[in-house]
Amino acid sequence: MIIFYLTNQAQLVDLFLLSVKVHHSEFALLPAKYGQLTYYIFAPAMTIQLLKSKIHRVRVTESNIDYVGSITIDQELMDAANLIENEKVQIVNVNNGERLNTYVIRGAPGSGVISLNGPAARKGLVGDIVIVISYCTIDFEEARSFKPTIIFPDGHNRLTSRD
């Protein structure tokens, strides 16, 4: 935490501009009074982790133990779920209860591919049903109105609906 005492309005403007630049680094500018003096505290803002995206119940179509690692996901499902390549995701296997963290690799659009690669291939079999989840870190107040993207593919990993 950093405390500033300002002697004029121009310093407040400069400090405000600094706080805007640093705001995305999870800090906030908070005013505080002590008698007639106003201090400004540059302190960490409260953030929480929320569900960002979810692909609910897709079927594993491939398992490739010799790949470097990750999960390959059909590009159309990625786009619909608001996922990007290399994004960290959690995979929950409905069939065996396994959970793992990995990253996303873009699969061919319209292919329906869901491939567990590398060590992840040990956590599920072709035909298993998995849930793909990503999270975001967001300011607590912004989190109140944030809406995650949730999609519900059919048994062939084609998009049928979204929440």
Which residues are part of the catalytic machinery? 70, 103
Helices (H), the chain: 9-23, 75-81, 140-143
Task: Give dist(CA 91, CA 102) in Å, integer.
Answer: 8
The three-state secondary structure class of 7 is: coil
Nearest alpha-carbon partner for 95 in 123, 119, 120, 54: 123
**How far is the C-alpha of 34 from the C-alpha of 32, rounded, in Å?**
7
Distance of CA 62 to CAs 8, 47, 72, 114, Å?
A: 65, 37, 9, 6
CB-neighbour burial class of residue 101 (10 A; exposed 0-12, middle 13-18, buried 19+): exposed
